[in-house]
Amino acid sequence: MNWYYARGDERMGPVDDAAMDQLVRSGAVTAETLVWKEGMADWQPLGSVAQVGTTAPAPLPTPVAAGDMAMPESLYGEQTVAGCVECGRSFPQDEMVPYEDHLVCAACKDVFFQRVREGGGLRGAFRYAGFWVRVGARIVDGFIINIATLAISFVVGFVGALINSAAGGGDGFEAIAGILGGLIGIILPIVYEIVFVGKYGATPGKMSLGIKVVRSDGSPVSYGRATGRMFSTWLSYIIFLIGFIMAAFDDEKRTLHDRICDTRVIYK
Ligand SMILES: [Zn+2]
């Protein structure tokens, strides 16, 4: 069972029973400290939680054998335990590396600082963009793509007609114009998505609503991944949009193509 506890105005944890036990022994958590774990209606002072004495810090909440009770306090010394911002597990503070207001454990520090260097954010600090804002972004993009497709088709058709008439006119012209128009309609949305997401992390539709595509760790999306994601969206379309609707029921708002490509859409 995981515990949360209050330090000043901050919510700390989750910590497991063993770590909580350590916190109590080290004095970081006392009988007056507000604690909460699943199943409790509200935060309560540790001292008033069942089975725990109100004065001396007592071992929690797994019954501890008498032999363990006699363990000398000095075993834990003055060490204070804190949660790692990356993995959430608890470690003695002096074994951890600080980053801004957070602490990172030794096992996570390489991965963590690598990501921060690459422009990624703190894990768990993302605001995921939900289903409707993403629908809105797709509508804006659809509008832009349609206008662009019309404009390009018009120019191509106009130039083609000029060339055709200069060449004396031919029967094949309309067929060629139709094929060209169809190709533009297919290629433009693909290029649009890949170039904007690969270069800026967002299509104009997403930019206009303040959202962007990132890796699950917050780092930017490469052109390769943007390409894979583009084609994965087709999968989300052909299963009757279920791939998109999945975002409405996912705690990280992942669509099918986000799952395939390990991407997330977040607010900037
Ligand atoms: Zn860690």
Q: What is the pLDDT of residues 99-144, one digit of tens each?
A: 887 888 998 888 888 878 877 666 656 788 999 999 999 999 999 9
What's the pLDDT tens digit per position in 27-42? 788 887 888 887 787 8
- Which pLDDT band, with edges at 50, 70 and 90, does 79 fall under? low
Query: Given this model, what pLDDT does residue 78 score?
Result: 59
Query: Given this model, what pLDDT does residue 252 score?
Result: 86
In this prediction the pTM is 0.55
Does pLDDT of 56 surpass 50?
A: no
> Which residues have their alpha-adjacent CB atom under 5 A from ion ligand 1?
84, 86-87, 105, 108
- CA–centroid distance, 99 to ligand 1, in Å, is 12
* pLDDT more than 70, % of the chain: 86
- CA–centroid distance, 21 to ligand 1, in Å, is 19
* pLDDT more than 90, % of the chain: 38
- CA–centroid distance, 217 to ligand 1, in Å, is 14
- CA–centroid distance, 20 to ligand 1, in Å, is 17
What's the pLDDT tens digit per position in 226-253? 999 999 999 999 998 999 999 999 888 9
- CA–centroid distance, 108 to ligand 1, in Å, is 4
Domain ranges of the chain: 3-117, 131-267
> How far is Cα 19 from Cα 90, in angstroms, rounded to an integer?
7
- CA–centroid distance, 124 to ligand 1, in Å, is 13
Q: What is the mean pLDDT of residues 173-181?
A: 83
Q: What is the mean pLDDT of residues 138-162?
A: 92
Does pLDDT of 83 surpass 50?
A: yes
Q: What is the mean pLDDT of residues 184-205?
A: 96
Query: Given this model, what pLDDT does residue 4 score?
Result: 85
- CA–centroid distance, 38 to ligand 1, in Å, is 22
Q: What is the mean pLDDT of residues 53-66?
A: 47
- Hey, which of 7-16, 44-53, 234-243 has the most confident mean pLDDT? 234-243
